[in-house]
């Protein structure tokens, strides 16, 4: 009987995505053409993305309807649970009320299918045959490969070489879904060949892999490009997380004082936080909103707010964002999903407006927090998510110190079942902390494009 009731709760999935562009006090700066400089129009993006996604990219409509075929697939794992971390609260002996939204229950174990499914749907609608993309640790590649399998699209994944070699299981997962995986930099593209000519042993980076995928998409009319974070439409799709959380907090008769998520490109952060930021912007609430970055790749906290390219070969449009420079090679921390030189333009814009905060966590502190969380709650977080866990624990201990009970929510963006080697390395004291690489960032920032905007 109770099973039936659960299945019937399907209508608790949001019917719309929330577009924060409708509530911004001032619009985010325009996207600029990579070659010629002036703001780009929809036609400039058409070789890379289907028109529906381009429309979403620039839309100022507050709510955008989620197509039924996408909701039908969401129904397999959504709504995701909002848990109260009572055993963690007890272990910390804190008066804080700690909640977490668990995105790790999706089939591939992270929030990323929320946008992968939507992107595959719109591409299929427009008659696209193949999607090209990049992946770091493989979370995004496996999400898009799954979504392409659902909609009958071919999928080419350029996987950062160091992950391709060190993390064979996610590569195996991507291939099991029928996608092809190429270690990047590769000989398949001009961008890859140029990097290999300079450095035949290059271990690759997300910026290089993006260049390769964009080049493949731009040179084939049947292939389009798909990105797993950063862009406005990606952040939009992820808002199902925060909208569900709003309703779940209503059911729990509570409301978060602090909203926390890790931030690599910014999509799981935006997904949980934007519906709460919107409430703040409309004067309906006053939560603190905190993005957590790795100390080794501190884009919001230490980066420059400037126009930059999304990729190493400078094939993408230029966006205004917090950046460490498009040629920056982040240190090899285990949170592969947080190793990106830039930050979502919408997240960067909100940070400049003072609507959100940002902080950093070292990877050994992040793993220590992840282990403490696992022992209390039974879930092994993804290395990326550990950064949010660490900040939630810091906030909870602050409550204890001050003797006040605040409500804290964080996004548990994924589980860490494919990352056990990192946990084993941590247990054997093999993980090291990397300080902010000042000189490498300065060198990369010296190459920022010259834009007067
Ligand atoms: C990819 C990934 C991230 C980082 O990407 P965002 O776009 O910043 O969310 C965080 N957590 C998990 C589990 C991921 O797979």
Element (H, E) at 86: helix 86-92
Q: How confident is the model at residue 1 (pLDDT cuts 50, 70, 90)?
A: very low
Other CB atoms closer than 10 Å to residue 169's CB: what's the count? 14
| 224 plus 248 within the same structural domain | no
Where residue 372 falls (left for φ over 0; alpha for ψ -120 to 50; beta otherwise) is: alpha
The reported pLDDT for the residue numbered 440 is 86
Domain boundary, last residue among 188, 212, 228: 228
Is pLDDT at 364 greater than 60 in this prediction?
yes
| 242 plus 369 within the same structural domain | yes
| 99 plus 131 within the same structural domain | no
* The pTM of the whole model exceeds 0.75: yes
- CATH code, domain with 118: 3.40.50.1100
What ranges make up the beta strands (E) of 233-314? 258-262, 288-294, 304-309
| 177 plus 264 within the same structural domain | no
Tokens of 58: 């620039």
- Give long-range contacts, CB 8 A cutoff, 24+ apart: 6-9: 9/79
Q: Burial, 293: exposed, middle or buried (Cβ in 10 Å; 0-12, 13-18, 19+)? A: buried
| 64 plus 89 within the same structural domain | no
Say what percent of the chain tops pLDDT 90. 86
CA 265-177-330 angle, to 5 degrees, is: 25
What is the number of structural domains in the chain? Answer: 2
Domain that holds residue 369: 79-109+233-445
Domain boundary, last residue among 186, 209, 228: 228
Q: How far is the CA of 421 from the centre of ligand 1 (A)?
A: 18
Q: Which atom of ligand 1 is nearest to the CA of 415?
A: 13
Q: What share of the chain is helix, strand, coil (3-state, %, to 5)?
A: 45, 15, 40
| 177 plus 206 within the same structural domain | yes
The reported pLDDT for the residue numbered 10 is 54
Where residue 32 falls (left for φ over 0; alpha for ψ -120 to 50; beta otherwise) is: beta
**How does pLDDT run across 89-120, given as a tens digit for each residue?**
999 999 999 999 999 999 999 999 999 999 99
Phi, psi of 175 (to 5 degrees): -70, -35
| 361 plus 244 within the same structural domain | yes
| 140 plus 270 within the same structural domain | no
| 267 plus 173 within the same structural domain | no
Q: How far is the CA of 228 from the centre of ligand 1 (A)?
A: 9
| 366 plus 295 within the same structural domain | yes
Ligand 1 pocket residues where CB is under 6 Å: 110, 112, 139-140, 229, 262-269, 337-338, 382, 384-385, 413-414
Q: How far is the CA of 269 from the centre of ligand 1 (A)?
A: 8
| 221 plus 364 within the same structural domain | no
Ligand 1 pocket test, candidate residues 167, 231, 338, 381, most atoms within 8 A of CB: 338
Are 108 and 137 contacting, i.e. CB atoms less than 8 angstroms apart?
no
């Amino acid at each position: 009987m109770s099973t039936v009731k659960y299945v019937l709760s399907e209508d608790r999935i949001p019917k719309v995505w929330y577009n924060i562009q409708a509530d911004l006090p001032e619009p985010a700066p325009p996207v600029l053409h990579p070659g010629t400089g002036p703001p780009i129009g929809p036609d400039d993006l058409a070789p890379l993305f289907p028109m529906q996604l381009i429309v979403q990219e620039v839309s100022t409509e507050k709510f955008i309807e989620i197509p039924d075929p996408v909701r039908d697939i969401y129904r397999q794992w959504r709504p995701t649970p909002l848990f109260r971390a009572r055993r963690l609260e007890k272990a910390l002996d804190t008066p804080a009320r700690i909640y977490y939204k668990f995105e790790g229950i999706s089939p591939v174990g992270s929030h990323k299918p929320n946008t992968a499914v939507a992107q595959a749907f719109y591409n299929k609608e427009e008659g696209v045959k193949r999607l090209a993309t990049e992946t770091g640790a493989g979370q995004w590649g496996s999400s898009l490969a799954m979504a392409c399998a659902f909609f009958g699209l071919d999928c080419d994944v350029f996987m950062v070489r160091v992950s391709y070699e060190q993390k064979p299981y996610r590569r195996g997962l991507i291939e099991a879904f029928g996608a092809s995986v190429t270690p990047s930099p590769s000989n398949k593209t001009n961008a890859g060949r140029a990097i290999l000519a300079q450095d035949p042993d290059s271990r690759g980076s997300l910026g290089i892999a993006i260049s390769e995928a964009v080049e493949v998409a731009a040179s084939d009319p049947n292939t389009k490009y798909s990105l797993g974070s950063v862009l406005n439409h990606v952040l939009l799709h992820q808002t199902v997380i925060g909208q569900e959380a709003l309703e779940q907090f209503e059911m729990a008769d509570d409301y978060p004082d602090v909203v926390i998520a890790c931030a690599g490109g910014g999509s799981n952060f935006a997904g949980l936080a934007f519906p709460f930021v919107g409430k703040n912007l409309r004067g309906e609430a006053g939560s603190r909103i905190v993005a957590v970055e790795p100390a080794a790749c501190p884009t919001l906290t230490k980066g420059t707010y400037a126009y930059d390219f999304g990729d190493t070969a400078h094939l993408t449009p230029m966006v205004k964002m917090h950046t460490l420079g498009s040629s920056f090679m982040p240190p090899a921390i285990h949170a592969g999903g947080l190793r990106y030189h830039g930050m979502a333009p919408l997240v960067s814009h909100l940070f400049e407006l003072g609507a959100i905060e940002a902080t950093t966590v070292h990877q050994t502190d992040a793993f220590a927090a992840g282990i403490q969380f696992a022992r209390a709650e039974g879930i092994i977080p993804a290395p990326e998510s550990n950064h949010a866990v660490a900040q939630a624990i810091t906030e909870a201990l602050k409550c204890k110190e001050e003797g006040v009970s605040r409500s804290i929510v964080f996004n548990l963006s994924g589980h860490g079942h494919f990352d056990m080697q990192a946990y084993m390395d941590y247990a054997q004291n093999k993980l090291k902390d990397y300080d902010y690489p000042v000189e490498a960032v300065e060198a990369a920032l010296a190459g920022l494009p010259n834009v007067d905007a």
